[in-house]
Amino acid sequence: EAGVTQSPTHLIKTRGQQATLRCSPISGHTSVYWYQQALGLGLQFLLWYDEGEERNRGNFPPRFSGRQFPNYSSELNVNALELEDSALYLCASSLVTGGRTGELFFGEGSRLTVL
């Protein structure tokens, strides 16, 4: 069974540009989560998508956005990139939809570098 896959593995952008990151969940999982793992800051919750809808978002500005497609894959968009957006972006999926989230299955992440 394929795990959570993310692309690209690495992405280099300059300030002001836009970045798009993609995630495919484990087959059968309908919930997708995005986390930012910046150096020295741990994992910060960004977004939760379930059944195509944004269900919850963390304390990030609106230039962080995304969507979930009918096949449950997801895209994270970061507009007007700033230097501090440089981080590892982790996608996770789970079977549990709503309520108290159970086990998360993580991808290996997309490393975004903003120059």
What is the contact surface with other proteins in residues (CB under 8 A)?
A: 4, 31, 33, 35, 40-43, 45, 48, 50, 55-56, 58, 90, 92, 98-109
Toward other proteins, which CB reaches closer, 16 or 102?
102
Residue pair 7/73 in contact by the 8 Å Cβ criterion = no
The least CB distance from residue 91 to other proteins, in Å, is: 9
Toward other proteins, which CB reaches closer, 29 or 81?
29
Residue pair 15/82 in contact by the 8 Å Cβ criterion = yes
Amino acid letter for position 71: N
Residue pair 47/37 in contact by the 8 Å Cβ criterion = no
Toward other proteins, which CB reaches closer, 45 or 79?
45
